[in-house]
Amino acid sequence: MQKKTEDVSSILYVEDDSISREVVAMFLRNNFSLETAVDSSEAMEKLKANNYSVILLDISLYKGLDGLELAREIRKLKNYKKVPIIAVTALAFREDEKRILKGGCSHYISKPFSRKLLLDTINNALSK
């Protein structure tokens, strides 16, 4: 896998599950700069203070807005209208994927996923 250069500032992963955050951090280590948020309010604070190249977003957040509500709020932010939002979710039915992609996310990955799938999806999102 080709290492991304400095033009990729960072990725924000919004996830309330600590194990999922650790797995993604391990998968992305040496490839991307990763920051995390555990709920929608922390995510919005970080989004307003930083410029992320990609947002990884759990759909089933238990505190504050859920992932689709948060995706709609993110799309209202001037700097994030076209930034890729990759849903990273346990909602794995085809109907879920369609609903999520219509709800503001540009890409979709269902849990569990491989390191290769995550990296390929991020690289694909960045290339568009």
Which CATH architecture best describes the domain 11-123?
Answer: 3-Layer(aba) Sandwich (3.40)
- For residue 93, is pLDDT > 90? no
- For residue 67, is pLDDT > 60? yes
Note the pLDDT of residue 87. 96
Note the pLDDT of residue 9. 56
Note the pLDDT of residue 75. 95
Q: C-alpha dihedral over 59, 117, 26, 49, to 10 degrees?
A: -50
- At 40, list the tokens: 């929608």
C-alpha 99/C-alpha 68 separation (Å) is 9
H or E, element range at 13: strand 11-14
Residues 11-65 have pLDDT tens digits of 999 999 999 999 999 999 989 999 999 999 999 999 999 999 999 999 998 888 8
Name which residue leads in pLDDT, 4 or 89: 89
* Domain assignments of the chain as residue spans, ordered by start: 11-123
